[in-house]
Amino acid sequence: MNLTAGKKLILIFLLTLVASFISLPKEIPVNIHQGPINIERTFHRPDLNFSIGKLNFSKQFDLVLGLDLAGGSHLVFEVDTEGLSKEKKETAITSLRNVIERRVNLFGVSEPNVQSSSFEDKDRIIVELPGVKDTEEAVGIIGKTAQLVFAELSDEEGGGLIPTELTGAFLKDASVVFDRNVGKPAVSIEFTQEGSELFAEITGRNVGKPLAIVLDNMPVSAPMVQEQIVGGSAQITGEFTQEQARDLAIQLNAGALPLNIELIEQRTVGATLGGESVERSIKAGLVGLLMVLIFMVLAYGKLGFYADLALVVFGVLTLALYKLIPIVLTLPGIAGFLLSVGMAVDSNILIFERFKEEKKRRDYANALEISFGRAWDSIRDANIATLVTAFILANPLDLSFLHTSGPVRGFAITLALGIGISLFTGIVVTRNLLRVFVREGREEKGKEGKK
């Protein structure tokens, strides 16, 4: 379906309108005291809540701030890995990190950052909890050793879970395998000698019933017992993807390899530092944005004005996406956004410079279209180079030889997101603005001149 430039512009306007609603702060104070007019009121932006049948959708559109901006707690735990082989230690640390991350998520901490660190034969887990000032309860939840238990389904009405004596202490290992019958991923579990006897006894009295696997009082799986299992080995099968099977194995190993952890450092980051950083960053961003807007108008006149409108759309869409995804906004993340503001008009500069040359050879409308087409190669190559750099900095594959710092990743993500949106606003938004308001205006003047 081919849309005219005018219709595309209407769609862009509607998109910007929706993004503006999302970008608004939750509370908007209005204080106007001018002569007889006295308005002192706080407007609240409504959250998005609706239901379609049994599906409930709720979104608050809050901006998620990182530890350096919102304040919070920085915790360092030392892990006791004495007596474990190198391979077992790596598995145990991964399991422990995943369990801690799940626990703080259940605790209600917004976007925690959990990392493992090894230095001078000391293994540590670093936990950052944005927005959490009183960390006593959080430390208590994080500090518990993972509790894995197998539970039977109660025969009473309501079907509650009854914990058995079989716990993670009797589990020797859990690993991902492939079911020989159907070729799908499964989880193989192996028990100690004492665990094998308990497992045989429990499966014997639960044939045809589910046997729940509970980690930290949360059921992670409930496989159906097909027959009594002796020998201490079994498989948990189901409609698993390979990733789901791996995650279940990690969760089981977290209970099978309980590691003692000790809190060795607890640091509270004050909100004052975050507040000052945000205030100064906003001022710097506004000054930089204003300078870019003025430069575009001075350098390119009416063309620059429409490029500035596209830049405003860029800012609104970017902020809306930060809230929708959501992006955890840190100080380096704000730096990535500010850098992308300057790059957002880069494509327009290339197009407008090309346009100066093209309008000497052909009429205004054709010169405008050809300028967008011929500048695209340069715009594409420049932005691909930046996106590749952002991909390396973000390190989404967790490659060990690349940087894994949270702030660096925050910078890379906001930069990459800014580049993507700037391509849309620089090419699509600016192009349709010029098609409607500049080219059509020129055509009208041309018709009047012929008359």
Please list the pLDDT of the chain residue by residue as tens digits (451 residues): 456 878 888 999 999 999 988 888 877 777 777 777 777 787 777 776 666 665 666 667 778 777 777 777 888 989 888 888 887 788 888 878 877 877 676 555 656 778 888 877 788 998 888 777 667 766 766 766 667 788 998 877 667 888 998 888 788 888 888 877 777 888 888 988 998 999 999 999 989 888 988 877 778 778 888 888 888 888 887 777 887 788 777 767 766 555 778 888 888 776 555 566 667 777 777 788 888 889 999 999 888 999 999 999 998 999 899 888 878 787 788 888 888 887 888 888 989 999 888 888 888 778 888 888 888 888 888 889 999 999 998 888 767 677 666 678 888 889 999 999 998 998 889 888 888 887 654 554 444 444 4
Number of domains, the chain: 2
Write down the pLDDT at residue 128.
83
Strands (E), 122-167: 122-130, 148-153, 161-167
40 lies in some domain = no
In three-state secondary structure terms, 172 is strand
CA angle, residues 338, 408, 289, in degrees to nearest 5: 0
Pick from 231, 253, 269: which residue ends a domain?
Answer: 269
Is 422 in the same domain as 324?
A: yes
What gap in Å lies between CA 269 and CA 137, rounded to an integer?
Answer: 17
Q: 273 with 68: CB under 8 angstroms? A: yes
Considering the domain architecture, whether residues 298 and 238 belong to the same structural domain is answered as: no
Residue 7 forms part of a structural domain: no
Q: Which two tokens stand for residue 420?
A: 């993507």
Are 242 and 310 found together in one domain? no
The DSSP letter of residue 45 is P
98, 409, 135: which is closest to 257 by C-alpha? Answer: 98
Same domain, residue pair 260 and 288? no
Range of 207's domain? Answer: 72-269
* Per-residue pLDDT at 450: 47
Radius of gyration of the chain (CA): 29
Residue 148 falls within a domain, yes or no? yes
Query: Do 296 and 253 share a structural domain?
Result: no
Domain edge (last residue) among 252, 269, 286: 269
State the CATH number of the domain containing residue 426: 1.20.1640.10
Q: Are residues 165 and 256 in the same domain?
A: yes
- Nearest residue to 417 via CA among 334, 312, 346: 334
**Are 335 and 442 in a shared domain?**
yes
List phi, psi (to 5°) of 133.
-95, -45
Which one of 269, 293, 323 terminates a domain? 269
> Which residues are within 8 A (CB) of 419 and not within 5 positions of it... i.e. 6 or more apart?
340, 343, 383, 386, 387, 390
Instruction: Confirm whether 218 is domain-assigned.
Output: yes
Whether 177 and 326 map to the same domain: the answer is no
Residue 377 inside a domain? The answer is yes
Question: Same domain for 425 and 309?
Answer: yes
Regarding whether 315 and 171 lie in a shared domain, the answer is: no
Residues 79 and 185 in one domain: yes
Summarize pLDDT for 388-404 with one digit per residue, the tens: 999 998 888 767 677 66
pLDDT score, position 329: 80
In a domain, 63, yes or no: no
Examine the domain organization and report whether 233 and 288 are in the same domain: no
Task: Output the pLDDT for position 107.
Answer: 59
Here the CATH number for the domain that contains residue 188 is: 3.30.1360.200
16 found inside a domain: no
Structural domain includes residue 111: yes
